[in-house]
Amino acid sequence: ASIPDLKARRRDLLDSYKAATGNLSNRRIYSGKESGIHKPEFYEWINGTLPDSSKTTQTFEKFLEQRVRLK
């Protein structure tokens, strides 16, 4: 996928998570122990530069998707 496509898909996923959980703070997301991502990786993920093949990407997206499904 192209970087603009990744950015759009990831923004949608993040927005869905925020809507489902009421957690609107990026800082609270990347600083939380459950998310499995650190600040630099979080912003690489948002900007589409952290590859889909990255274990961090896979773990983080699974975390977001699970929270969205639970709400």
Confidence of residue 58 (pLDDT cuts 50, 70, 90): very high
Mean pLDDT on 24-36: 94
Whole-angstrom distance, CA of residue 69 vs CA of residue 47: 24
Q: What is the pLDDT of residue 71?
A: 64
Give pLDDT tens digits for 1-25.
799 999 999 999 999 999 999 989 9
Tally Cβ neighbours within 10 Å of residue 5: 10
